[in-house]
Amino acid sequence: MPNNHRYPWRGPWLLWGLSFGLTVTAAGQTPPPEDRMKDAIEIGTLSQAPAVSITNGEITVRVYLPDAQKGFYRGTRFDWAGVIGSLTYRGHDFYKPWFHAQLSGVNDFIFQGDTIVASPNTAATGPVEEFNGEGGALGYADAAAGGAFLKIGVGVLRRPDTSVYSPFRQYPIIDLGKRTTSVQPDRVVFTHELTDAGSGYAYRYIKTIRLVRGTGAMMIEHELHNVGTRAIATSVYDHNFLNIDGAGTSPGLEFTTPFALVADRPPSPDLVEISEHRLVYRAAPTGEQRISTGLKGFGPTAGDYNIHIVDPSHGAGLRITADQPLQRLALWSIRPVMAIEPFINMTVEPGQSFRWSYRYDYEAFPARAIQHP
């Protein structure tokens, strides 16, 4: 995908909701007025946001820094800490941007011909995480219109009305909390402290992006300390926006798991084939196709949080493991990006802490031709 792309703001806009099962159509949306075109921010401009680079000699990672005025990601959906704009390993970049521009007022993302425009809440890259609570976010179900709720990793937000929570909506920010960042050559440590006295929720959250010395591995390590008076019950998932070398969702791209995969609603067999422990793309999504399905079959131990992804036509892959059991697993993909989304659950009582970590082992190997169906 080019970094500097001029956008033809013509044709029908597409509004996408969040669902599971194969989706290839969407509702129409009236294009914004012509004077809004100037508000679109191109990916080349976003990529100039504050960032640091870390390396262990094998992997080099560009990590964006949380910044309320200039940050790459300032939405109210994903954790602001640890947004990765690029990860290179043996000639491959695993997290190329999958969208071309960002525009407020967009719901999730839209196709505009060959251009993809994302909302500020979806315009993220790499293995970004989202925390959810009862009602969609921590305290949202309890908050009246005008009241406050928490989005872990973001801040204290305002519930503007009685509408159900939407991850694609930009909520007013009441308090961003206190953030500190520590950078070493091979790691970045983010600390976020947040208190909402009205609800009783408060936490100290530490997230570390660390490269394992002498290997092609990256660790994402977390600590959530409950320093409030109310239990924190939440799920968290990693969106894993994967776009190897900018090639997107290629035919032959596959992933395997230790358990036999069962799709909630099997995608079209013309696009995706599921056989026991293996899912493979027979063809890449085209046009405005989207593949979105829940996946089951995993057991109650952390051993099933083991996802091996391989792109044979580009000679790259990775394995994702964790020290917690899966609570849920989802697959989402469009032309330029494939995302496997593993969820875990946690309940942290006042005065207690919860720790969890993910390990990413990146791979490079000789590419091989794929027989297209």
Residues 83-96 have pLDDT tens digits of: 999 999 999 999 99
Residue 236's identity, in one-letter code, is V
**Would you state the pLDDT for residue 38?**
65
Query: What average pLDDT does range 355-367 have in this prediction?
Result: 97
Give the mean pLDDT of the chain: 89
Task: Using alpha carbons, select from 69, 79, 71 the residue that is nearest to residue 51.
Answer: 71
Query: Domain holding 75: CATH number?
Result: 2.70.98.10
Q: Is-contact 60 54, C-beta < 8 A?
A: yes
Q: What is the residue range of 133's domain?
A: 13-364
Query: What average pLDDT does range 115-129 have in this prediction?
Result: 96
Residue 5 placed within a domain: no
Q: Is-contact 141 134, C-beta < 8 A?
A: yes
Q: Is 305 helix (H, G, I), strand (E, B) or coil?
A: coil
Residue 289 placed within a domain: yes
Q: Is the pLDDT of residue 36 over 80?
A: no
Q: What is the DSSP string of 39-82?
A: G-EEHHHHTTSSEEEEE-SSEEEEEEPP-TTT-S---SSS-STT
Residue 354 placed within a domain: yes
Pairing of strands 148-151, 129-132: unpaired
Q: Is the pLDDT of residue 342 over 80?
A: yes
Q: Is the pLDDT of residue 20 over 60?
A: no
Indicate the range of 35-39, 164-168, 178-182, 336-340 predicted with least confidence.
Answer: 35-39
Residue 73 placed within a domain: yes
Q: And the tokens for 90? A: 């043996």
Classify each residue of 68-81 as buried b or exposed e, where b means 16 or more C-beta atoms within 10 Å of its C-beta: eeebbbbbbbbbbb
Q: Is the pLDDT of residue 338 over 90?
A: yes
Q: Is the pLDDT of residue 267 over 70?
A: yes
CA 7, chain centre distance (Å):
24
Indicate the range of 30-39, 209-218, 247-256, 281-290 predicted with least confidence.
Answer: 30-39
**Would you state the pLDDT for residue 135?**
87
Residue 2 placed within a domain: no
Number of domains in the chain: 1
Query: What average pLDDT does range 70-75 have in this prediction?
Result: 97
**Would you state the pLDDT for residue 372?**
53
